[in-house]
């Protein structure tokens, strides 16, 4: 598999770092490759050696953050299979969206930060492949199979309810400071309790939990490779 550009080039790494800083500070709209190159202390033409357009560069930033999130989750599930339980996984996915600005922006459709990339087909594909919400819905049938979620409810209705619940928590967590609403001391605990109320307390044995963690790891690794291929396909096309 082709290595990411920054793994072989310190120059590419500087360009990515500069782009990340500027996008998070100003957003994509109005930002130019020339400004990014200047911040990275390289010529504009050097940036174009790695990326055809500003959108390609910014999409690469977003995709890399999703890969980093997958790596974090893979490490955790490997070390602690019990973290695959719904009441632990769901709060963590909301927290991950809050802690990773590009993941949060893409999930909430933040066009102020991402510009046209907020709704771009590549961004939609990225969310479908490795978005926290997509992963949660993919693992829901696995939870049901291994007695970590109730099965007396049609899967599509249960998935819809879980989606609504998690979307509501993310929306509440990303509201501007001072917005009206109820505040709690421990939102993660509230999310965990709500997920348990929705899916049931579960009756899984240790073997079930290990099986769920194993399937979660498989799904994450597959998604990670797919997203890496989305990134490196652009590099390979550029090299040709």
| Position 26 in a domain | no
| Position 40 in a domain | no
E-assigned strands of 52-167?
A: none
pLDDT at 1 over 90: no
Q: Average pLDDT in the 53-75 region?
A: 94
Q: Two tokens at 215?
A: 């399937």
* Torsion-angle region of 27 (φ positive above 0: left; ψ -120 to 50: alpha; else: beta): left
How many domains is the chain partitioned into structurally?
1
Residue 227 — pLDDT band, cuts 50, 70, 90? very high
pLDDT at residue number 54? 94
**pLDDT tens, 68-101?**
999 999 999 999 999 999 999 999 999 988 899 9
E-assigned strands of the chain?
A: none
DSSP tag of 176: P
Secondary structure (3-state) at 54: helix
**pLDDT tens, 144-188?**
999 999 999 999 999 999 999 998 998 888 877 777 777 888 999
pLDDT at residue number 234? 61
What mean pLDDT value characterizes the chain? 90
Cβ-Cβ contacts under 8 Å for 154 (sequence gap 6 or more): none
pLDDT at residue number 31? 95
47-52-54 Cα angle (round to 5): 75
Residue 137 — pLDDT band, cuts 50, 70, 90? confident
pLDDT at residue number 182? 78
Q: How many CB atoms lie within 10 A of CB 81?
A: 18
Which residue would you say has higher pLDDT here, 116 or 175?
A: 116
pLDDT at residue number 172? 87
Question: What percent of the chain is modeled with pLDDT above 90?
Answer: 75
Burial of 118: CB neighbours in 10 Å, binned 0-12, 13-18, 19+:
middle
pLDDT at residue number 200? 94
Distance CA 185, CA 105 (A): 25
Q: Average pLDDT in the 187-193 region?
A: 95
| Position 147 in a domain | yes
| Position 38 in a domain | no
Secondary structure (3-state) at 41: coil
Tell me the whole-structure pTM to 2 decimals. 0.88
| Position 164 in a domain | yes
Distance CA 218, CA 147 (A): 19
169-92-106 Cα angle (round to 5): 65
Contact predicate 198/159, CB 8 Å: no
**pLDDT tens, 32-54?**
999 999 999 999 999 999 999 99
Q: How many CB atoms lie within 10 A of CB 74?
A: 15
Distance CA 42, CA 39 (A): 8
pLDDT at residue number 175? 79
Domain of 109? 63-239
Distance CA 127, CA 103 (A): 9
Which residue, chain included where needed, has tokens 């619940």? 165
| Position 100 in a domain | yes
| Position 3 in a domain | no
Q: How many CB atoms lie within 10 A of CB 24?
A: 13
**What are the phi and psi torsion angles at 9 (to 5°)?**
-140, 120
| Position 50 in a domain | no
pLDDT at residue number 8? 64
Cβ-Cβ contacts under 8 Å for 60 (sequence gap 6 or more): 16, 51, 231, 234
Which residue would you say has higher pLDDT here, 4 or 208?
A: 208
Residue 4 — pLDDT band, cuts 50, 70, 90? confident
């Amino acid at each position: 598999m082709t290595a990411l550009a920054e793994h072989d080039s310190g120059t590419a790494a500087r360009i990515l770092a500069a782009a990340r800083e500027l996008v998070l500070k100003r957003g994509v709209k109005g930002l130019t490759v020339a400004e990014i190159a200047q911040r990275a202390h390289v010529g504009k033409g050097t940036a174009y050696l790695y990326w055809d357009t500003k959108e390609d560069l910014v999409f690469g930033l977003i995709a890399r953050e999703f890969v980093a999130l997958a790596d974090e989750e893979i490490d955790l599930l490997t070390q602690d299979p019990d973290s695959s339980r719904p009441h632990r996984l769901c709060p963590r996915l909301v927290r991950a969206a809050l802690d990773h600005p590009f993941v949060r922006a893409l999930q909430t459709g933040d066009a102020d930060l991402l510009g046209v990339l907020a709704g771009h087909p590549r961004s939609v594909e990225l969310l479908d492949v490795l978005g926290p919400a997509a992963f949660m819905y993919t693992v829901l049938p696995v939870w049901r199979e291994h007695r970590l979620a109730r099965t007396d409810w049609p899967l599509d209705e249960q998935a819809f309810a879980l989606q609504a619940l998690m979307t509501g928590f993310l929306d509440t967590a990303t509201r501007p400071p001072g917005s009206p609403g109820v505040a709690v001391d421990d939102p993660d605990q509230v999310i965990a309790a709500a997920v348990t109320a929705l899916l049931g307390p579960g009756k899984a044995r240790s073997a079930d939990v290990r099986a769920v963690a194993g399937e979660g790891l498989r799904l994450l690794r597959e998604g990670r490779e797919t997203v890496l291929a989305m990134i490196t396909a652009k590099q390979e096309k550029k090299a040709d």
